[in-house]
Structure 1
Amino acid sequence: MLEKLQNEALELLQSLIKIQSFSREEQPTAELLFNWFQNKGIEVKRDLDNIWAVNKYFDKSKPTILLNSHHDTVKPNAAYTRDPFEAQIEDGKLYGLGSNDAGGCLVGLIAAFVSFYDKENLKYNFVIAATSEEEISGENGIAYMQPILPKIDFAIVGEPTLLDLAIAEKGLVVLDGKITGTPGHSAHIPNDQNPIFMALKDLNWINSYEFPRISDSLGMVKMTVSQINAGKQHNVVPSELNFVVDCRVTDAYSNQEIATIIAENTDCKVVPRSLRLNSSFIDPNHEFVKAGLKLGKKTYGSPTLSDQCRLNCQSVKLGPGDSLRSHSADEFIYVQEVFDGVAFYIKILTEIV
């Protein structure tokens, strides 16, 4: 049974790779997944380009585990030397766009769902959700689905973690900063309202400030000035300076707290673009985490963002593949990683259901 599920997962992943599925263009892969579930005799639903199903003996009185990963991809970068949609296996590697991020995880979770689908007397219900727009943190993916899905008590988000457990994930707040000065001719007497120099105090504060609360799993909040723009002519003092701050938030703070602290310590007008991309975590004593440790896996805090940030329940990020390969040229996942992902998802869930 396991070998059959592993082979079916690999074949499904190859089929997904062969279909272009950029964010907001996921209709063809949604159709493929919908038909795949139907062919398995599983009652499946589609909302926009999100495909989901519940286990055969779903019981509202029981807690529910969400198995979630995405079927959209980024666009291939210019450094590709292979056809990103060929899904070729060579030297034990399956090449193709989305193979590692996060196709291997998605098909592994689907296989695990199938293995538990028609089992009776489970401790938990299962919901599988193959969602869209993850790569752009869009509004029509998992965020759209949350009010539609049954109440979720705990989620496994499929992303490449080398099958270790990311028990926390940093959130993200992007802020736009602006300071207005007085424009003038650069040849005239010194202009003490030059916004370039007016901004230095705030930029230095952002660069050096350390948020006092430190997360056990994610460490420190990290702020980075990633963009800056001022002036268009060499002989004109600009009227304003604009900059962008990328702030990676730990579970020690809410996004709103971060925005408030920055506003209180800067003279520039610093406005968050959004406060919705929150940090994520799971109680280290959760039975799923304990099951992972029992099976020899490590736990860690992830610096990268995923659909975890849109969930309103405890969650863990877990999946085959290596995050360092995500969005790389000639992306690949090892065939054995796909097989191991199927086996491990089933094994760890068996420990708790």
Structure 2
Amino acid sequence: MITEQNLLTKKAIELLQKLIATPSFSSEEDMSAQHLENWFKEFDIPYKRENNNVYAFNKYFDKEKPNLLLNSHHDTVKPNEAYSRDPFEPHIVDGKLFGLGSNDAGGCLVSLIATFTFFYESKNLNHNIIIAATAEEESSGNKGLNSLLTILPEIDVAIVGEPTLMNLAIAEKGLVVFDATVHGTPSHAAHPNSNNAIYNTIEVLEWFKNYKFPKISEVLGEVKLTVTQIKAGSQHNVVPAKVNLVIDVRVNDRYNNKEIAEILSNEAPCELKPRSLRLNSSCIDKNHPLVISGIALGRSSYGSPTLSDQAALSCPSLKLGPGDSTRSHSADEFIFIEEIEGAIDLYIKILNGFLNKKEL
């Protein structure tokens, strides 16, 4: 252990305050990355930086051992107009640390960094530990975790830090966004037209409303398909040639995104084009030793409907972190100080149960 747990906790909270005070919108994380570099310098831990991603390996890294990744992000969304506080002022009031990114996902990030530092000098662990503080999560950008994975050694299992109230999200839905087009015959509104694209859309909307994918996940339930946008026409007296729709599909762990695209392209009564197929669902077996270690400490497991950097991973991964997902992207975002304290303690206990287990 490189230092005492209570000192690490104090330092982690101080780091979070520095991160809150530093604007770090997606693709603009240069300064927050410097704060992260300073942490590793302070604790004399060698680190590397790729774009705005900062990462490090445990002291006794062994290429023959499997690799555990600890990951969270340091970028944020932009503050919404409903803020009543300065989003970049890290005030602590009644045990709450306020500020943009405090809950999503600064509290998770600093807790994982503190946990990595706690284990940095540990010997004889059954896994190597890699910490990755990554960029561009909020925008699903191409210079975040997905780019870093091309540099890192193969990852065997991961903990992704997102606010889960420190319960175990053992599965997460993937996402495919489709652009759909319903065609018709353009015409003057005064003339008869039996092929009105807008009227044709009624049947298409009903199809999407009623369509069900047959495979249901034990943890994530059904695939959720939702029409979220519709656009057509430019003048009151012109029937448009087409109607454009946007379809949001949240994918369970019984399908991959390519399968979803193939099924809908074959069955949907309109033209469809997926924007991307890379944000797949993710999961970890409920009997995985990492999950068992968390359950043994009284944590519950569930399936998460929200997307995170787990989508970039092809290995078993667990989403776990302090804070509450419902506070994310909200006005006057905050995290409780005691949530960070409890998270560091729980992360350490879960990893003690996992990293020191002899048979995996």
| TM-score normalized with structure 1 length | 0.99
In structure 2, the residue matched to 1:313 is 315
Aligned match of 1:195: 197
Pick one of 205, 226, 229 that aligns with 1:227: 229
Task: Note if 1:126 corresponds to 2:121.
Answer: no
The match for 2:61 is 58
What residue in structure 2 maps to residue 4 of structure 1? 7
SS in structure 2 at match of 1:290:
helix
What residue number does 2:31 align with? 28
**Identity over aligned pairs, percent:** 59
CA separation in 2, counterparts of 1:227 and 1:138? 22
Cα distance in structure 2, aligned partners of 1:294 and 1:260: 41
- Pick the aligned partner of 1:144 from 128, 143, 147: 147
- Cα contact 2:15–2:35 (8 A) shared by 1: no
Mapping for residues 92-103 of structure 1, pairs under 5 Å: 92-103=95-106
| Among 69, 72, 82, the residue aligned to 2:72 | 69
Q: Corresponding residue for 1:268?
A: 270
Mapping of residues 70-89 of structure 1, within 5 Å: 70-89=73-92
1:329-353 CA distances to partner (integer Å, 9 max, x unpaired)?
A: 0000000001111111111000011
1:217 aligns to what? Answer: 219
Give 3-state SS (helix, strand or coil) of 2:138's partner: helix
Distance 1:352 1:267 in 2: 49
Residue among 41, 48, 52 paired with 1:49: 52
What secondary structure does 1:138 align onto? coil
Question: Which blocks of at least 5 consecutive residues in structure 1 are unaligned?
Answer: none
| Separation (CA, whole Å) in 1 of partners of 2:317 and 2:346 | 17
Question: What does residue 340 of structure 1 align with?
Answer: 342
Aligned residue among 253, 256, 260 for 1:254: 256
1:223-260 alpha-carbon deviations (Å, 9 max, x no partner): 00000011122211111110000000000111111111
Of 283, 292, 295 in structure 2, the residue corresponding to residue 293 of structure 1 is 295
CA distance in 2, matches of 1:54, 1:177: 45
Does the CA contact (< 8 Å) of 2:171 and 2:283 recur in 1?
yes
- Structure 1 equivalent of residue 333 of structure 2: 331
Instruction: Provide the aligned length of Structure 1 versus Structure 2.
Output: 352
Name the CA distance, whole Å, in 1 between partners of 2:346 and 2:108: 11
Alignment-derived partner of residue 90 in structure 1: 93
2:107 is the counterpart of 1:104:
yes
Q: Which residue of 1 aligns with 2:186?
A: 183
Structure 1 runs of 4+ aligned residues shifted over 3 Å read none
The aligned residue for residue 39 of structure 1 is: 42
Aligned position for 2:173: 170
Separation in structure 2 between the aligned mates of residue 136 and residue 49 of structure 1, nearest angstrom? 14
Q: Which residue of 2 aligns with 1:302?
A: 304
Over residues 83-119 of structure 1, what are the superposed CA-to-partner deviations in whole Å (9 max), with x where a residue is unaligned?
1111000000000000000000000000000010011
SS at match of 1:136: coil
> Counterparts of 1:262 and 1:208 in 2: how far apart (Å)?
13
1:122-143 deviation digits (Å, cap 9, x = unpaired)? 1111000000000011110000
Which residue of structure 1 lines up, in the alignment, with residue 163 of structure 2? 160
How far apart, in 1, do the equivalents of 2:79 and 2:268 lie?
39
Counterpart of 1:59, as a letter, is: D
SS at match of 1:126: strand
RMSD between aligned residues: 0.8
User: CA shift at 1:202, angstroms?
Assistant: 2.1
Alpha-carbon distance in structure 2 between the residues aligned to 1:63 and 1:11: 32
Aligned residue in 2 for 1:242: 244
The match for 1:352 is 354
Single out whichever of 115-124 and 195-204 deviates more from structure 2.
195-204
Q: Secondary structure at the match of 1:133?
A: coil
Q: Hey, what's the Cα distance between the residues in 1 that align with 2:124 and 2:253?
A: 35
The range that moved more, 191-200 or 26-35, is: 191-200
Q: Which whole-Å CA distance do the structure 1 matches of 2:237 and 2:229 have between them?
A: 22
Q: Within 2, Cα distance between the matches of 1:22 and 1:114?
A: 26
Distance in 2 between residues matched to 1:140 and 1:312, nearest whole Å: 18
Structure-2 separation of matches of 1:158 and 1:50 = 15
* 1:266 positional shift: 2.1
The alpha-carbon deviation at position 207 of structure 1 amounts to 0.8
| 1:133-184 alpha-carbon deviations (Å, 9 max, x no partner) | 0001111000000011121110000000000000000000000001221111
| Structure 1 counterpart of 2:358 | none
Deviation at 1:199, TM superposition (A): 2.2
